[in-house]
Structure 1
Amino acid sequence: MEALTRFERTRLISARALQLSLGAPVLVKAPKYSTALDIARLELQEQVLPLAVLREFPDGLITRIEVF
């Protein structure tokens, strides 16, 4: 996986935490009393997030980075 910027990491974690809070299934084994934010961080760390980042460059090139 290509390195993510801190802004991309934050966006992925917050988007996944929102999904989890709305009832999305958890993709990792998490401790019993974990928050959605903790689980989202753990999923990103283990690279199992079903999300992708689109990077747009000044020359118009768009690259897609899969997180899993």
Structure 2
Amino acid sequence: MERKEFALGDVVQMKKPHPCGANEWQVIRMGMDIRMKCVNCGRSVMIPRSQFERQMRKVLRKAETGEDLEG
């Protein structure tokens, strides 16, 4: 299986939408676990990297330089 390419600050689309209805997530922390923030409501969740890579469909927008990730 091919590894999916994503980086800190990217906005990605997941297989299942968030309960608020949005399906866009911003990657705000990377490591063994991935923390991502819902673009619509701002809620953040942390999931294991293996689960994230299985559930991620595609990168919608690449990270912009100098962007505030925790804000």
Higher strand share: 2
Q: Give TM-score scaled by structure 1 length.
A: 0.28
Larger Cα-atom Rg: 1
Q: Give TM-score scaled by structure 2 length.
A: 0.27
